[in-house]
Amino acid sequence: VKRTSIILVALGVIALSLGIAAAWPATGFRGIGPAALNSAVALAALAIFGVFLPKRLSLPMQIFVAMVTGIAAGWLMNCAGELAFVTEYLGIFGKLFILLLKLVITPLIFVSIVCGVAGIGDVRKLGSLGAKTLAYYFFTTGIAVLIGLLLVNTIRPGVGRESLRADVEQRVDTDVADVDGSETAPKSLGLRIQEDMLPRIVQNPIMAGQNPLVIIFFAILLGAALASLGGEAEPATHVFRSLDKALIQLVLWIMVLAPIGVFALMAKAIAELGLGYIATLAKYCMTVLLGLGGHTAVLVLVLCPLLARVSPKRFLMGMLPALELAFSTSSSSATLPVTIDCATRRVGANENVSNFMLPIGATINMDGTALYAAVASLFIAQVYGVDLTLQAQLMVFLTAVLVSVGTAGIPGGSIALLPIILGSADIPIEGIGIIIGVDRFLDMCRTVVNVTGDSVGTVVVSRSEGLLGEPLD
Ligand code: ASP
Ligand 1 centre from 15 Cα, in Å? 32
Residue type, 404: S
Number of C-beta neighbours around residue 338 at 10 A: 26
Q: Which of 102, 366, 404 to mutate to test the pocket of ligand 1 (most atoms within 8 A of CB)?
A: 366
Ligand 1 centre from 444 Cα, in Å? 8
Nearest CA to ligand 1 atom 1: 411
Nearest atom of ligand 1 to the alpha carbon of 408: 5
Nearest atom of ligand 1 to the alpha carbon of 369: 7
Q: What is the pLDDT along the chain (473 residues), one digit of tens a residue?
A: 788 899 999 999 999 999 999 988 888 888 899 899 999 999 999 999 999 999 899 988 999 999 999 999 988 988 888 888 999 999 999 999 989 988 888 888 899 999 999 988 787 888 889 999 999 999 999 999 999 999 999 999 988 777 777 766 665 555 544 444 445 567 888 889 988 888 888 877 666 666 777 888 889 999 999 988 988 999 999 999 999 999 989 988 999 999 999 999 999 888 777 566 667 788 999 999 999 999 999 999 999 999 999 999 999 999 999 999 999 999 999 999 999 999 999 999 999 999 999 999 998 999 999 999 999 999 999 999 888 899 999 999 999 999 999 888 888 899 988 999 999 999 998 889 888 888 888 999 999 999 999 999 999 999 999 989 888 86
Q: Which of 105, 141, 331, 442 to mutate to test the pocket of ligand 1 (most atoms within 8 A of CB)?
A: 331
Nearest atom of ligand 1 to the alpha carbon of 372: 7
> DSSP assignment of 223-284, as one string?
HHHHHHHGGGGHHHHHHHHHHHHHHHHHHHHHGGGHHHHHHHHHHHHHHHH-HHHHHHTHHH
Ligand 1 centre from 471 Cα, in Å? 28
Nearest atom of ligand 1 to the alpha carbon of 415: 8
Q: pLDDT tens for residues 286-316?
A: 999 999 999 999 999 999 999 999 999 999 9
By percentage, how much of the chain surpasses pLDDT 90?
58
Nearest atom of ligand 1 to the alpha carbon of 333: 4
Ligand 1 centre from 335 Cα, in Å? 11
Report the alpha-carbon distance of residue 369 to residue 195 in Å, rounded.
27
Ligand 1 centre from 330 Cα, in Å? 6
Nearest atom of ligand 1 to the alpha carbon of 412: 8
Ligand 1 centre from 418 Cα, in Å? 12
Report the alpha-carbon distance of residue 247 to residue 253 in Å, rounded.
10
Number of C-beta neighbours around residue 345 at 10 A: 17
Ligand 1 centre from 123 Cα, in Å? 32
Around ligand 1, the residues with Cβ closer than 6 Å are: 330-332, 366, 369, 407, 409-414, 443, 446-447, 450
Closest CA to 380 of 436, 341, 333, 342: 436
Q: pLDDT tens for residues 132-151?
A: 999 999 999 999 999 999 99
Ligand 1 centre from 443 Cα, in Å? 6
Is the overall model pTM greater than 0.85, yes or no?
Answer: yes
Q: pLDDT tens for residues 350-395?
A: 999 999 999 999 989 999 999 999 999 999 999 998 888 999 999 9
Closest CA to 250 of 341, 347, 342, 348: 341
Nearest atom of ligand 1 to the alpha carbon of 335: 4
Ligand 1 centre from 303 Cα, in Å? 23
